[in-house]
Amino acid sequence: MALWGGRFSSGPDAAFKQFNDSLPFDYQLAEQDIVGSIAWAGALKQVQVLSADEHVELVAALQALLDEASVDPRAIATAGYEDIHSYVEARLIDKVGDLGKKLHTGRSRNDQVATDFRLWCRDTAGTVLEALEALKAAFVALAERELGTILPGYTHLQRAQPVLFSHWCMAYVEMLERDTLRLQDAVTRLNECPLGSGALAGTAYDIDREQLAAELNFRCATRNSLDAVSDRDFVLELLSCASISMLHLSRLAEDMIFYNSGEAGFIELGDNVTSGSSLMPQKKNPDALELIRGKTGRVFGAFSAMMMTLKALPLAYNKDMQEDKEGVFDAMPTWLAALHMAQSCIESVKVNGDKTKQAAQGGHANATELADYLVAKGIPFREGHHIVGQLVQLALSEQKNLEDLSLAQFQSVCAQIEQDVYPVLQLDACIAARSAKGGTSVAQVSAAIGAAKKKQQIT
Ligand code: ARG
């Protein structure tokens, strides 16, 4: 039996039914729909719509349904009902007969679906938060292991200044930490319970909505029934969190694809996250990273689709809002899988410290150091910058690094340069000089690693 039909004299077209039905995807809300229904049954008992015995019987049947649904949730998708709410009610009636028909008293699918979806988003966010923690921990472990490795730092994809490989790792820990805080913040706001808002105007039964919210572990009940059934900000927030985090992962993927290239040769990914070519036997391709980069697009797509769907929707519920689910059901697992893959890539990576050091030594990445040296000799920075530019030109024409120029060559451009320039140009000195907070010196990076470990309670 459908949830409606009394005022209709004929049924829907097959094509319309297929167009309208959401069970093929909202079956994923089965657990949340049943848990929400158990809480609603409790509320109905409190307002004497259900007797104590009826309540016990309904809850037992819902519990049995929950157990059944958890065995093979996908099987529900093809059960032919309009949506998950229709499915649960029909199955309940199968189990307990007419008593099952009482459950929807004072409730609408509008407050029901808003509640189910918030529960789902809250659960899923919890899983994503765990994956974010695990990825951060993998980065911190790599940063600790590679504390002695020097990497060329880039701007404009040109070698700019040397940095510690670990400094690069900890940059991603910062991004992932912001992703964590953003998601936690979004969860705080979505953790309010719309149940008991009815279709739009509120429920006519004297339900204690705060108690109902607490029953479902929500922070509180929503405050306005019109808003509660039509608000999907929580979906937008979640998808924007996912988008920003995927953006971070796409930058990580891009960095690592380049580091892993034959041209750079800074890292080698494990066999467990790479694949071969059907034609070229020598190939070991960074597919996991390319897929992370590629999947970023569909997560952004889900976010922008949701923005479009909600734009200019009149209050309160409209069927357009049924379109809120598929994007989230795709984007959240995609985000989760990308986090897991990034973790595997970081855990499997081998760093070639000789290669990174060699690259850091080339490209005149110590030119800034030389300019700072001239400042220490009393030359204004702008002038020093110009002198070093000339020295770089000289080094380039000699096909040498700056530190390989002779003192006579240095002095041919700037008489103030003395023997003490050579230690300044060493990579270690360049790194050590960046010792103010947030810089790449060993002391600063170690402090960042220590702080991250403390946050993660890793000992
Ligand atoms: N399947 C619907 C959705 O996902 C449930 C709410 C339907 N409400 C309604 N009044 N037709 O949004």
Residue-wise pLDDT for 229-245, tens only, equals 999 999 999 999 999 99
Contact 345, 268 (CB under 8 A): no
Rounded to the nearest angstrom, the gap between the alpha carbon of residue 417 and the centroid of all alpha carbons in its chain is 51
Q: Kindly report the CA angle at 69 between 68 and 74, in degrees rounded to 5? A: 130
Percent of the chain with pLDDT over 70: 99
Residue 353 CA to residue 350 CA, distance in Å, equals 9
Residue 56 and residue 91 in contact, taking contact as beta carbons nearer than 8 Å: no
110 lines ligand 1 (CB under 6 A): yes
**pLDDT of amino acid 280:** 78
Question: Is the CA virtual torsion 337, 343, 346, 349 positive or negative?
Answer: negative
81 and 73 Cβ atoms separated by less than 8 Å:
no
Q: Pick 122 or 280 by higher pLDDT.
A: 122
Q: Where are the alpha helices (DSSP H) in 77-108?
A: 84-96
Rounded mean pLDDT, 363-372: 90
Interval between CA 317 and ligand 1 midpoint (Å): 8
CA distances from 74 to 68, 81, 355 (A): 12, 14, 50
Tell me how far apart the alpha carbons of residues 392 and 15 are, in angstroms, rounded to a whole number. 72
- Judge if the beta carbon of residue 322 lies within 6 A of ligand 1: yes
pLDDT of residue 1: 66
- How many Å lie between the centroid of ligand 1 and the Cα of residue 108? 9
CA distance 94 to 277: 54
Q: What is the predicted pLDDT for the residue at 458?
A: 52
Distance (angstroms) between ligand 1 centre and the Cα of 62 equals: 21
Catalytic-labelled residue, pool 277, 304, 406, 435: 277
Q: How far is the CA of 126 from the centre of ligand 1 (A)?
A: 26
Is the shortest distance between the CB of 22 and ligand 1 below 6 Å? Answer: yes
State which ligand 1 atom lies nearest to the alpha carbon of 117.
4
Q: What is the average per-residue pLDDT within 324-337?
A: 98
Tell me the pLDDT band of 271, cut-offs 50, 70 and 90: confident
Q: Which atom in ligand 1 lies closest to the alpha carbon of residue 321? A: 12
- Contacts (Cβ under 8 Å, ≥6 apart) of 157: 258
- Ligand 1 center from residue 24 Cα (angstroms): 14
Question: Is the pLDDT reported for residue 6 higher than 90?
Answer: no
Q: Which two tokens stand for residue 192?
A: 């309010």
Q: How many CB atoms lie within 10 A of CB 9?
A: 5
pLDDT at position 120 is: 98
318 lines ligand 1 (CB under 6 A): no
pLDDT tens digit sequence for 54-80: 999 999 999 999 999 999 999 999 999
Nearest CA to ligand 1 atom 12: 322
**Does the CB atom of residue 113 touch ligand 1 within 6 A?**
yes
Q: What integer pLDDT is reported at residue 459 of this predicted model? A: 44
Integer Cα distance of 423 and 417 in angstroms: 12
Q: What is the mean pLDDT of the chain?
A: 96
Bond preceding residue 316 cis, omega within 30 of 0: yes
Mark whether 277 is an active-site residue: yes
- Per-residue pLDDT averaged across 371-379, rounded? 95
Q: Would you state the structure tokens that stand for residue 416, as one six-digit string?
A: 């103030």
Query: Is 344 or 2 the better-scoring residue by pLDDT?
Result: 344
Percent of the chain with pLDDT over 90: 92
Per-residue confidence (pLDDT) for residue 298, from 0 to 100: 98
Does residue 362 carry a pLDDT above 90? Answer: no
For 426-456, write each residue's pLDDT tens digit.
999 999 999 999 999 999 999 999 999 999 8
Cα dihedral 216, 67, 1, 23 in deg (nearest 10): 70
Report pLDDT for 11: 85
Does the structure show a pLDDT above 90 at 10? no
Tell me how far apart the alpha carbons of residues 261 and 266 are, in angstroms, rounded to a whole number. 8
Report the complex ipTM: 0.96
- Contact between 221 and 198 (Cβ < 8 Å): no
Please tell me if the CB atom of residue 88 comes closer than 6 angstroms to any atom of ligand 1: no
pTM of the model: 0.94
d(CA 392, CA 142): 34
pLDDT for the residue numbered 277: 76
